[in-house]
């Protein structure tokens, strides 16, 4: 009963957010006035003025991509300095030392790309100044850049600038994303979280004497402002090491529910906005429906296996009565290792599916401790990386698979393939192939290298097939710009800091550049009017085929490693084999 | 002479008037060539153009080495006979792929051979500057040379007639045996094609093409496939297949390390087998055969496509612009009704009309006599010593003058009106009304008069070719808009358009209107196809995405077009569209099939290779294949034999019925997607059982 | 290049500094209790912890929280990150289970949250099943009727919006045991 009510609330809330935020963004990025225009227009103009941007004319995709890259580079460099020299900067009451260079490299790669993989532990390694001017700042840059780029991409795909070969203006899109979309939600969201118990203070720690008399040092700081952008921007890098499992970062079931919705809000809205821009809302809903179908299937699968618990615990040899993992009115039951009591199983798994689908990477439970199939769910979710996906890049990835899907289906109805009225030819297929090749390359190859070397294996927290899953999860998370982890793996070693940093950078920028290039290339083609001979892409049938292509391309690539990792682990668990 | 291999089930492709079919005896020749090609194509320099099969070839070479030196890539647990087994299957896979391509090429070659014969040793009489003649080989002629060709000689190269009138036999090119007249100055009749034969008289011809560039040369090259370039879509698909191959290469190479981590080391031969099973070899092996066969199907229709691109584009056509005359309607208007004026009977009118037409050899005239006979008017005879009056542009009427001075006339209304008025008689408004009535119905009225008396009106009507309405309906379900172009007035045009069932029409069209029309639709993003034959059609043919020129047309039209119909039948455009679609569908279907097969192959191979180290993997062996060697060999054999099994499909093309895109997709996904998932489960299991039977 | 630098500085100052500092101001003004860590005090006004952060309890007269990977160190959060087939995990659970049995009796099955480590290392809650299982021990240690302890447990059971199953805050529960001197 709880399950049904909970999911019903979730679906209704998701639909509301999709329509409201999506409709709003469709207007904002189409330069139409909205309620907030009187407030933000002057700020936007002032910002352009003081940064010396004179013209906001539409840019060719190369210029757009260049501005995006250069800006990200500068931001990364500035943050690198902040992290490395935090001991010289203010708001460091605990006198924490500057970050080691390789860890700082890994951190900036991770945060500028909206990955937010953390090889450090927030409350141990970062001063409050680093948490706000370094981490919070980078989170905003990564997320807002992602949204801006996606807006540019969608403009190219939907011919927003008719008679113009441009995708829009990067800095203007960035400002619009930040001011009109992020800022209002950040302010409202942060205040809500503070009201629920999320700290927002410039203190870094408080010492108390616990009830039994032992001292307890409680770490906190400006958590709420970071938490909001972490969730809304699908960033995921926690203030605390335990991320959204930490009671200060996720105090109760309601904040948990809101955090989940915040992860999904912009990616969901973008799908709707795309439909509006295409003047084909049905197309938006077909994509939304396809994503939601996979989302719910993953959730169902993960929840079933987590709720079933760990069979080994039911037959511990030396224990007479056994451990009760059944769900009842007195406990949530299930596999509770690495989960919080206030969340239980389903809200934990909903968070897991949302955070890995959207490339957020925040966690409210420890994925490393999930049952093997329960852990396969977030892995698979990241391997696809398009179940709503990260802010901006998720929809882009979904449309990338769409290019492959229309290529095959177009052929099957006897037409040279087209997507949204644009012909798919060699350049698009080459670019799409690069983007599709990239994912397995970045995941499978470094995982293979790590599994055969001590520098890879010595970081493992778990042995046997679960160890393989730990390494696989790390590179999958990096390539998908997710940032969540099978956190048992000690990633703060030179090998992991460097290799993961590189995977993160390539995973982000190569695919974005390839997709922008596709948008640029499609933009220059004549749009064909749909006729009865055109294969409609806004149907249930095509949605199904689209999903089929995504699942088959994704599954075929990763099946062997998943068999040796999670599936072998599952078989071991059922047989009671320990490692 | 129905050749079984080419009996294509598609609705459009059933035609009996095909020419240039390879004779049955050619079959063995084609087979012979294909069997040779199977081995010559193993050359890695040729193979690298097909990345999928190139990977198979490398795998074959590696296993070949291992067959002799099993330990060369590290210690192995498998038997030598297993490695040899893998090697042999890979080799057979390669041969099958090569056979498919060589066989498809062979069919084209056989067709080209008959054309080549005419080209071989032609001599030409070159007229030199001083007026003397010199005998040179046809291959020495250059554009601008002037040659004389007399009765019984072969025209050495393409050219324009400068002088002389002659009949020519063009059957070598068109297959049409009736001779055609060639004379200078006229648009169509002045161009001659190399390889055709002068039957009578002589011609002075100015050569227009250099050696190797003549129409015949191009045609031979095209059907031979020698100049075959990959089409844009084929290139894009090749890229995609290469990317998939790379993905699976990564999957297999990295699997070595994962297997090492899991303490379940992989054998090199097994790994190669897994890789070959996973990469899309089925479509990789058949891709070029599909393309060649598609072009071949077009040429079997007696249409020469100048590029594969044009054939592909024809599958995408959104608008067909068709000339009314000759395409939608039979060339001429025919009498359909006699409408007498008051006081005259149908019989009287019919008799008079027929009398005026007895000597008239035009189709209209003949049809009037026919109609009269059908209405029961017999014993049609003109009195002796009748003078027939031919139609002239001045009088715009024709008829007969009898010896007794009776003058019978039929003609356009105003011509007959003048004829009556000139004799000092009153013009009856009744005839005028009848004539206008016919015109309103889209017909052409001919008024019949005898001396001063008007008998009535003949209704001449355009006759729509049988079956056109059905074809246009099919076009509509395929999403193709048909537009009729005609010089007729809007009323006539509308009537014909309605009867034929075209979507739209353009009346009183001039050649430049066609270009405007094409551009209009192209700007909406639609691909436009049209047919044409005259020089003034050339710009529009060039503008259209698919321009089909009639072989009877001018050189200019043929050069501007990207397809030439040797039978000069404009309605073939519709067939070409179907072939284009069929070509693309075949590619898509086999790609989907190929990729879908991988699911079953995973189920066969993955449990098999890890079952020793991880016994629990037995849970995934849903096919119950038993031993690892058996499972891997079964999957690999299935992977090989599916290629020859699908060669007929690749050559014939996937069945294509006109239906909406959604219906087509559903159908093809079910057959080739779902079928592609299920078929290998059955196939691999069957092969596995067979292997068990032989104790393997 | 200069545009990129100026733009970076603009965003750094506005979003990296202004935004969190402004929110800190707002939070401190409107929700000072929550913004400063929801700290709680005992009768004497001494700060004894945060209502959101779990604490370690080992004495028999207190309800015990879940096992923690890092001993309820509130400056170093995190889980055990051990997978279900990990020998380390099963060994730990075996030890914890026999300990729990010894303290709370071996007649009924053990609620799973009582022997599994939380994700945060700071889980302030336990399941109602877990609390009820500990009632006899606490009652015995405090020498009061188990009924009264059980009543307190039921009274403090929370089931907020969107929670899967009811639960109790261990610190609040133990504080209630302390403050109600009647026990």
**CB pairs < 8 Å spanning A and B:** 203
A412 lies in some domain: no
pLDDT at C94: 93
Work out the mean pLDDT of chain B and round it to a whole number: 82
The answer to whether B530 and B518 have CB atoms below 8 angstroms apart is yes
| pLDDT at residue A526 tops 80 | no
| pLDDT at residue A47 tops 90 | yes
pLDDT at B336: 86
pLDDT at B187: 58
| pLDDT at residue B7 tops 60 | no
Q: pLDDT tens across A555-579, in order?
A: 788 999 999 999 999 999 999 999 8
Average pLDDT over residues B604-621: 85
Q: pLDDT tens across A79-136, in order?
A: 999 999 999 998 888 888 999 998 999 999 999 998 888 888 877 889 989 989 999 9
| pLDDT at residue B580 tops 60 | yes
In this structure, the strands spanning B123-127 and B133-137 are antiparallel
SS3 of A376-416: the string is: HHHHHHHHHCCCCCCCCHHHHHHHHHHHHHHHHHHHHCCCC
pLDDT at B222: 63
Average pLDDT over residues B599-627: 85
A391 lies in some domain: no
DSSP string covering B624-677: ---SHHHHHHHHHHHHHHHHHHHHHHHHH--------HHHHHHHHIIIIIIHHH
pLDDT at B693: 87
pLDDT at B3: 38
Task: Please state the domain extents for chain C.
Answer: 1-36, 40-179
For residue B671, the chain A residue with the least C-alpha distance is: A412
Q: What is the helix (H) or strand (E) element at residue B320, kind and residue range? A: strand B317-323
| pLDDT at residue A158 tops 90 | no
Residues of chain C with pLDDT under 50: none
Of all residues in chain A, what percent are helix, strand and coil, respectively (each to 5)? 65, 5, 35
Among the listed residues B86, B240, B263, the one whose alpha carbon sits nearest the alpha carbon of residue B591: B240
| pLDDT at residue B23 tops 60 | no
Distance from CA of B128 to the nearest CA of A (A): 51
pLDDT at B9: 32
Check A316 against C39: CB less than 8 A apart.
no
Distances (CA, A) of B593 to B18, B282, B678: 32, 8, 10
Least confident span in A188-192, B26-30, B317-321, C66-70: B26-30
For residue A319, the chain C residue with the least C-alpha distance is: C98
Work out the mean pLDDT of chain A and round it to a whole number: 91
A520 lies in some domain: no
Q: What is the pTM of this model?
A: 0.85
Q: pLDDT tens across B182-234, in order?
A: 877 665 567 787 777 888 778 888 888 777 777 667 666 666 654 566 778 88
Query: H-type helices in B301-362, by residue range?
Result: 308-315, 346-357
Query: Which of these is catalytic: B169, B323, B488, B545?
Result: B323
DSSP string covering A54-73: ---PPPPHHHHHHHHHHHHH
Q: What is the DSSP letter of A221?
A: S
- What domains does chain B contain, in order, with CATH numbers? 4-111+223-302+579-693 (no CATH), 142-210 (2.70.150.10), 304-328+465-566 (3.40.50.1000), 330-463 (3.40.1110.10)
DSSP string covering C30-66: H-HHHHTT-EEE-TTS-EEEETTS-----STTS----
Distances (CA, A) of B139 to A52, B195, B212: 70, 12, 8
Q: pLDDT tens across A225-260, in order?
A: 999 999 999 998 889 999 999 999 999 999 999 999
Average pLDDT over residues A383-394: 86
- Show the tokens assigned to B167: 């009949």
Contact residues, chain A, for C167 at CB < 8 Å: 341-342
Are chains C and B in touch, 3+ Cβ pairs below 8 Å?
A: no
The answer to whether A165 and A521 have CB atoms below 8 angstroms apart is no
pLDDT at A334: 94
Q: Whose structure tokens read 């013209």? A: A55
Q: pLDDT tens across A144-153, in order?
A: 999 999 999 8
pLDDT at A284: 94
Distances (CA, A) of B485 to B503, B530, B570: 11, 10, 13
pLDDT at A295: 96
| pLDDT at residue A28 tops 70 | yes
Distance from CA of A472 to the nearest CA of B (A): 10
Average pLDDT over residues B448-474: 84
The ipTM assigned to this model is 0.96
Q: pLDDT tens across C116-163, in order?
A: 999 999 999 999 999 999 999 999 999 999 999 999 999 999 999 999
pLDDT at B661: 82
For residue A299, what pLDDT band results from cuts at 50, 70 and 90? very high
pLDDT at A319: 74
A388 lies in some domain: no
Residues 6+ apart with CB under 8 A from C32: none
Burial class (CB in 10 A: 0-12, 13-18, 19+), B53: buried
A6 lies in some domain: yes
DSSP string covering B532-546: E-SGGGHHHHHHSSE
- Give percent of chain A above pLDDT 90: 64
How far does Cα A35 stand from its chain's mean position? 29
**Which among C10, C23, C130 has the least Cβ separation from residue A51?**
C10
pLDDT at A294: 94
Distance from CA of A448 to the nearest CA of C (A): 21
Contact residues, chain C, for A2 at CB < 8 Å: 164-165
What is the gyration radius of the CA atoms in chain C, in angstroms?
21
| pLDDT at residue B118 tops 60 | no
pLDDT at B435: 85
User: How many domains, in total, are found in chain A?
Assistant: 1
- Give percent of chain B above pLDDT 90: 20
For residue B176, what pLDDT band results from cuts at 50, 70 and 90? low
| pLDDT at residue B2 tops 60 | no
Residues 6+ apart with CB under 8 A from A125: A96, A99
pLDDT at A532: 67
Contact residues, chain C, for A370 at CB < 8 Å: 83-84
Residue A390: HSE in the Cβ half-sphere, 13 Å Cα cutoff = 40
- Neighbouring chains of B at 3+ CB pairs under 8 Å are A
Full residue range of the structural domain in which residue A172 is found: 2-279
Selected residues 107-146 of chain C with any CB under 8 Å from a CB in chain A: 107-113, 115-130, 132
Residue B323 a catalytic site member: yes
């Amino acid at each position: 009963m709880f399950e049904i009510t909970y999911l019903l609330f979730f679906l209704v809330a998701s639909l509301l957010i999709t329509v409201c935020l999506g409709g709003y963004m469709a207007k904002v990025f189409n330069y139409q006035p909205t309620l907030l225009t009187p407030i933000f227009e002057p700020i936007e103009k002032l910002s352009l003025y003081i940064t010396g941007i004179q013209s906001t004319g539409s840019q060719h995709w190369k210029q757009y991509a260049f501005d995006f890259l250069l800006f990200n580079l500068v931001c990364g460099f500035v943050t690198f300095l902040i992290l490395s020299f935090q001991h010289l900067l203010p708001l460091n009451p605990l006198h924490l030392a500057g970050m080691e260079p390789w860890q700082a490299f890994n951190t900036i790669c991770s945060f500028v790309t909206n990955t937010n993989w953390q090889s450090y532990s927030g409350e141990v390694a970062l001063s409050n100044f680093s948490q706000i001017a370094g981490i919070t700042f980078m989170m905003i840059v990564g997320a807002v850049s992602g949204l801006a780029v996606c807006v540019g991409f969608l403009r190219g795909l939907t011919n927003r600038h008719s008679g113009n070969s441009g995708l829009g203006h990067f800095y203007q899109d960035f400002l619009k994303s930040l001011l009109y979309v992020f800022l209002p939600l950040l302010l409202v969201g942060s205040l809500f979280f503070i009201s629920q118990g999320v700290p927002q203070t410039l203190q870094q720690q408080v010492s108390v004497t616990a009830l039994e008399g032992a001292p307890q040092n409680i770490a906190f700081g400006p958590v709420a402002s970071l938490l909001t952008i972490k969730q809304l921007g699908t960033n995921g890098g926690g203030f605390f090491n335990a991320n959204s499992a930490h009671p200060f970062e996720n105090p109760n079931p309601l904040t948990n529910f809101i955090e989940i919705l915040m992860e999904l809000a912009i990616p969901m809205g973008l799908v709707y906005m795309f439909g509006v821009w295409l003047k084909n809302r049905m197309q938006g809903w077909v994509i939304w429906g396809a994503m939601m179908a996979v989302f719910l299937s993953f959730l169902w699968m993960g929840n079933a296996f987590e709720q079933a618990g760990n069979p080994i615990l039911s037959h511990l040899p030396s224990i007479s009565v056994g451990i009760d993992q059944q769900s009842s009115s007195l406990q949530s039951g299930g596999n509770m290792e690495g989960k919080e009591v206030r969340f239980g199983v389903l809200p934990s798994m909903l968070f897991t599916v949302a955070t890995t689908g959207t490339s957020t990477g925040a966690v409210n439970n420890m994925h490393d401790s999930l049952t093997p199939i329960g852990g396969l769910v977030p892995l698979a979710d990241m391997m696809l990386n398009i179940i709503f996906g990260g802010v901006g890049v998720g929809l882009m990835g979904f449309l990338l698979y769409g290019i492959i899907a229309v290529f095959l289906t177009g052929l099957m109805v006897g037409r040279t393939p087209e997507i949204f009225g644009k012909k798919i030819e060699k350049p698009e297929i080459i670019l799409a192939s690069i983007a599709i090749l990239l994912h397995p390359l970045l995941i499978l190859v470094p995982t293979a290298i790590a599994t055969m070397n001590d520098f890879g294996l010595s970081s493992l927290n778990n042995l046997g097939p679960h160890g393989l899953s730990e390494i696989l999860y790390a590179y999958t998370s990096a390539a998908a710009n997710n940032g969540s982890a099978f956190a048992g793996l000690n990633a703060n070693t030179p090998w992991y800091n460097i290799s993961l940093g590189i995977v993160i950078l390539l995973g982000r920028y190569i695919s974005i550049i390839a997709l922008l290039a596709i948008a640029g290339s499609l933009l220059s083609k004549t749009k064909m009017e749909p006729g009865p001979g055109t294969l409609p892409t806004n149907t249930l049938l095509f949605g199904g085929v689209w999903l089929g292509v995504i699942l088959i391309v994704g599954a075929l690539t990763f099946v062997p490693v998943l068999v040796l990792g999670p599936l072998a682990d599952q078989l071991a668990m059922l047989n009671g084999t320990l490692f | 002479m129905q050749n079984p291999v080419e009996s294509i089930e598609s609705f459009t492709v059933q035609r009996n008037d095909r020419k240039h079919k390879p004779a049955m005896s050619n079959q063995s020749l084609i087979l012979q060539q294909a069997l040779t090609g199977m081995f010559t194509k193993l050359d890695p320099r040729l193979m690298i153009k097909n990345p999928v099969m190139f990977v198979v070839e490398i795998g074959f070479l590696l296993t070949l080495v291992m067959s002799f030196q099993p330990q060369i890539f590290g210690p192995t647990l498998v038997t030598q006979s297993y490695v040899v087994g893998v090697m042999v299957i890979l080799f057979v896979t390669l041969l099958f792929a090569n056979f498919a391509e060589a066989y498809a090429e062979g069919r084209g070659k056989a067709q080209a051979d008959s054309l080549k014969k005419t080209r071989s040793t032609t001599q030409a009489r070159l007229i030199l500057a001083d007026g003397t003649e010199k005998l040179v080989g046809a291959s020495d002629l250059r554009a601008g040379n002037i040659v004389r060709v007399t009765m019984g000689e072969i025209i050495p190269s393409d050219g324009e007639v400068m002088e002389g009138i002659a009949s020519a036999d063009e059957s070598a090119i068109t297959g049409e045996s009736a001779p055609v007249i060639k004379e200078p100055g006229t648009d169509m009749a002045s161009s001659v094609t190399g390889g055709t034969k002068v039957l009578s008289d002589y011609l002075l011809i100015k050569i227009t093409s250099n050696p190797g560039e003549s129409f015949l040369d191009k045609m031979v090259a095209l059907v031979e496939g020698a100049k075959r370039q990959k089409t844009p879509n084929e290139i894009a698909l090749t890229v995609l297949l290469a990317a998939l191959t790379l993905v699976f290469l990564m999957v297999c190479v990295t699997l070595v390390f994962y297997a090492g981590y899991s303490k379940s080391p992989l054998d090199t031969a097994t790994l190669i087998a897994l890789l070959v099973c996973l990469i899309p070899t089925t479509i990789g092996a058949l891709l070029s055969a599909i393309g060649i066969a598609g072009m071949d199907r077009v040429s079997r229709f007696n249409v020469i496509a100048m590029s594969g691109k044009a054939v592909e584009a024809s599958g995408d056509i959104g608008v067909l612009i068709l000339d009314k005359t000759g395409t939608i309607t039979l060339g001429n208007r025919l009498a359909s009704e006699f409408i007498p004026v008051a006081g005259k009977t149908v019989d009287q009118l019919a008799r008079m009309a027929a009398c005026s037409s007895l000597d008239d050899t035009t189709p209209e005239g003949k049809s009037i006599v026919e109609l009269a006979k059908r209405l029961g008017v017999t014993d049609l005879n003109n009195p002796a010593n009748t003078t027939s009056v031919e139609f002239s542009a001045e009088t715009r009427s024709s008829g007969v003058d009898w010896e007794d001075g009776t003058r019978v006339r039929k003609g356009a209304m105003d011509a007959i009106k003048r004829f009556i008025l000139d004799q000092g008689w009153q013009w009856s408004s009744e005839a005028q009304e009848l004539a206008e009535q016919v015109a309103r119905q889209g017909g052409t009225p001919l008024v019949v008069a005898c001396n001063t008396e008007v008998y009535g009106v003949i209704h001449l009507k355009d006759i729509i070719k049988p079956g056109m309405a059905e074809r246009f309906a099919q076009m509509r379900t395929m999403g193709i808009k048909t537009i009729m172009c005609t010089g007729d007035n809007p009323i006539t045009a509308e009537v014909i358009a309605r009867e034929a069932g075209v979507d739209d029409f353009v009346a009183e069209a001039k050649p430049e209107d066609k270009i405007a029309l094409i551009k209009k639709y192209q700007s909406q993003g639609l691909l436009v196809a049209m047919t044409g034959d005259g020089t003034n059609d050339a710009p529009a043919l060039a503008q259209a995405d698919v321009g089909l020129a009639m072989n009877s047309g001018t050189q200019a039209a043929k050069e501007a077009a990207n397809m030439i119909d040797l039978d000069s039948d404009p309605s073939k455009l519709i067939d070409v569209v179907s072939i284009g679609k069929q070509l693309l569908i075949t590619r898509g279907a086999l790609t989907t099939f190929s990729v879908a097969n991988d699911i079953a192959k995973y189920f066969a191979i993955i449990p098999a290779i890890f079952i020793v180290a991880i016994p629990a993997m037995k849970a995934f062996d849903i096919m119950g294949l038993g031993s690892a060697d058996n499972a891997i060999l079964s999957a690999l054999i299935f992977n090989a034999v599916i290629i020859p099994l699908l060669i007929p499909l690749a050559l014939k093309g996937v069945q294509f019925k006109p239906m909406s895109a959604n219906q087509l997709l559903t159908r093809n996904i079910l057959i080739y997607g779902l079928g592609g998932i299920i078929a290998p489960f059955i196939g691999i299991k069957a092969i596995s059982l067979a292997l068990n039977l032989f104790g393997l | 290049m200069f545009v990129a630098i100026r733009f970076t500085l603009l965003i750094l100052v506005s979003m990296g500094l202004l935004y969190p500092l402004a929110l800190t101001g707002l939070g401190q003004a409107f929700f000072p209790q929550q913004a400063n860590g929801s700290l709680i005090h005992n009768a004497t006004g001494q700060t004894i912890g945060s209502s959101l952060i779990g604490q370690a309890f080992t004495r028999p007269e207190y309800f015990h929280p879940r096992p923690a990977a890092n001993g309820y160190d509130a400056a170093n959060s995190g889980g055990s990150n051990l997978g279900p087939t990990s020998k380390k995990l099963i060994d730990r659970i075996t030890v914890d289970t026999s300990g729990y049995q010894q303290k709370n009796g071996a007649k009924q099955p053990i609620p799973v949250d009582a022997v599994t480590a939380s994700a945060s290392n700071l889980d302030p809650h336990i399941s109602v099943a877990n609390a009820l299982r500990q009632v006899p021990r606490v009652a015995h240690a405090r020498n009061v009727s188990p009924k009264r302890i059980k009543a307190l447990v039921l009274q403090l059971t929370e089931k907020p919006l969107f929670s899967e199953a009811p639960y109790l805050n261990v610190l609040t529960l133990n504080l209630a045991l302390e403050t109600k001197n009647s026990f």
